[in-house]
Structure 1
């Protein structure tokens, strides 16, 4: 863990990084993202994507996206941040794998997974178990998309025999879904009652910070998830490293970003992932920022 944190460079000391990132926010390329607020296509009922040699068919719900439900509906669409992060995580050269933060036995939990399942589907073949969480009304379509894209990383164009050999030698990715409401649930008890009382190796969230009202419950949920490992007698006895928290976001409003970062810094030590560790689509000037947090 120390080696991993060292390569990230200087730890962030205050929330004013948001002012520096304003230059990223105003890059011309960002206007392309703003066209649909960062959604790939908000009106399509299905979207085809190719990520790391795998073809994905994602069903969306424009009706749910534009409904006036009391609960959040933004997860009903595919967001560019999730696509870019999925491409980055799919690389065997990704810093999380090369520095042993996660491996084939790791447990990963995604917050605000939405309905696409892109992150979980992409990451699952490379780790032990992915838990994709969101509010209850998102889970039906999330499960459907996970099932649709659970065929594993078999590239098209292979012969039938070659595909069968690949299929037989690959383990089945393990992805489960779990309802989790940041504002309503007692996160520690809820996750503990679903077999996650010993914590996870990585908790991640993509484009979940866009609303002032959600910042406090979101940060508290991140802290509660990471706190499971530090408070677990079983894990402490085995000297397991702390949970790493990855927050990826498209930069929209600097004041929202600064408020999130200020609150996040109260509970976490924080680093911004350096540009040379990103895939091309996430580098500075593209309108995205990825941060690492380790519970204080």
Structure 2
């Protein structure tokens, strides 16, 4: 009986590890697509944030209703309401805006490496709050994740990150926002589905952010490619990965989920090869190996 139970748990953990990895891959592509919209199609970053949050949040709540979920149940508890509003603004809006704004002022690769200081902040916070040191496997995985990200975006030379003050500030803010986004909804995910938490978080975030740039205040060059890129960002770059990521957080914890999501730069590298025709060096492949090693270490740790 214990063997059967352990096997079921391992299968569930493997499923949610894959969900975290899927979110990372889709996010990595999304950052590159966002850079394409900003640089090639002159789409405004604030407009993109408003539209993607409102559209993805609304769609997710509609799907929740179609599946028979009580979408208003999350508003019955006062503490849940306060937490949801905090998550919407300090988590959802913050991580969306700071990341894409950092891309606007630099590029997708630079914004990604700065954002992935976030897992460091999470591990440190969890260690302090639980009054413990990270386990050996968590520590090794953390080092490999950060090293892999560093090698992928700098080629081992920190001087290649020539940033404007705006890009640096937004990048660091993005790392903090990622940590907050991962940790803040923990209580909500105990009693509510990730679909409800993410759906309401996006919809509220979009409503709050709309006065900054309204969805109907459209700018940029609009053609088939622009619409296709926007569709990707809303569906495959927002709705699906944010749901998968929070589901993984719910099942395997924020520390492991955030570390697994550090595969995002790897997906950015792959899309760069096929779309942007970027030539990668041995250090790029070494960085990829570090990230893949992190995935195996965390998977093994989760099964254990």
TM-score (norm 1): 0.29
- Greater RCO, CA 8 A, separation 6+: 2
What TM-score, normalized to structure 2? 0.28
Please identify which structure carries the higher strand content: 1
